[in-house]
């Protein structure tokens, strides 16, 4: 079975915000919102990722002597998922009709932005799987056992260097940081609360 991408789903959780108007609601978000890099944000998405790889080996006779072992990633999966933290208004009773509409609009745009983080994680995970699918490492040895041991050591070293779980998380984090910079944390997508609306 070929190496595959698996999606673990998205879980959305909420933190409570409150206020008598949009300005005080924004202040509540900036006080209670999730932290990233020491900074409070209105919402945050993390995309956990982990690999579960299977390997195959083929042997060839070395031209001089001994054997060459070729180790490839033959199957398994790379699994990603999403966890979104969003604000939830305790009550909108104090808000005007226009302010309620603005909060609803802002919340929808903010959630769209966070979902895009998950979509970008999916795209990057597919790239990772393509890289792993063509990864081949080989080593020589006097015996098949020696060649296999050396090739396995080389493969493990390469996987740890580039594809260990912490390395994959850092790679996805870089994707998210780039997207947030590009979109100004969703502001360019409309995820900005217009506090001038009374």
197 in any annotated domain: no
Residue pair 76/135 in contact by the 8 Å Cβ criterion: no
pLDDT in tens, 10-60: 999 999 999 999 999 999 999 999 998 889 999 999 999 988 999 999 999
35 in any annotated domain: yes
Q: Whole-structure pTM over 0.85, yes or no?
A: yes
Scan for tokens 């509409």, then name that residue: 101
% of the chain at pLDDT higher than 90: 88
196 in any annotated domain: no
145 in any annotated domain: yes
84 in any annotated domain: yes
In whole angstroms, give the CA distance from residue 26 to residue 19. 8
CA-CA-CA-CA torsion for 35, 36, 40, 43, nearest 10 degrees?
-80
The tokens of 1 are what? 């079975």
Residue pair 70/138 in contact by the 8 Å Cβ criterion: yes
The torsion angles phi and psi of 16, rounded to 5 degrees, stand at -80, 135
Write down the mean pLDDT value for the chain: 94
194 in any annotated domain: no
Q: How many structural domains compose the chain? A: 1
137 in any annotated domain: yes
pLDDT in tens, 108-117: 999 999 999 9
Structural domain that includes position 127: 4-189
Residue pair 141/148 in contact by the 8 Å Cβ criterion: yes
């Amino acid at each position: 079975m070929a190496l595959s991408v698996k999606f673990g789903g998205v879980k959305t959780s909420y933190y409570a915000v409150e206020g008598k108007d949009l300005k005080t609601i924004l202040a509540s978000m900036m006080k209670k919102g999730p932290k990233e890099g020491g900074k409070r944000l209105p919402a945050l998405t993390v995309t956990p990722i982990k690999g579960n790889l299977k390997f195959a080996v083929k042997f060839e006779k070395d031209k001089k002597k001994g054997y060459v072992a070729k180790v490839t990633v033959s199957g398994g999966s790379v699994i990603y998922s999403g966890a979104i933290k969003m604000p939830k208004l305790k009550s909108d009773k104090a808000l005007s009709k226009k302010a309620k509409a603005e909060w609803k609009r802002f919340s929808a745009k903010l959630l769209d932005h966070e979902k895009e983080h998950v979509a970008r994680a999916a795209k990057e995970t597919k790239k990772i799987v393509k890289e792993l699918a063509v990864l081949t490492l080989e080593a020589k040895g006097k015996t098949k056992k020696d060649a296999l041991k050396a090739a396995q050591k080389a493969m493990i070293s390469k996987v740890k260097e580039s594809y260990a779980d912490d390395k994959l998380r850092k790679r996805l984090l870089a994707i998210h940081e780039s997207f947030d910079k590009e979109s100004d944390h969703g502001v360019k997508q409309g995820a900005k609360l217009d506090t001038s609306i009374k």
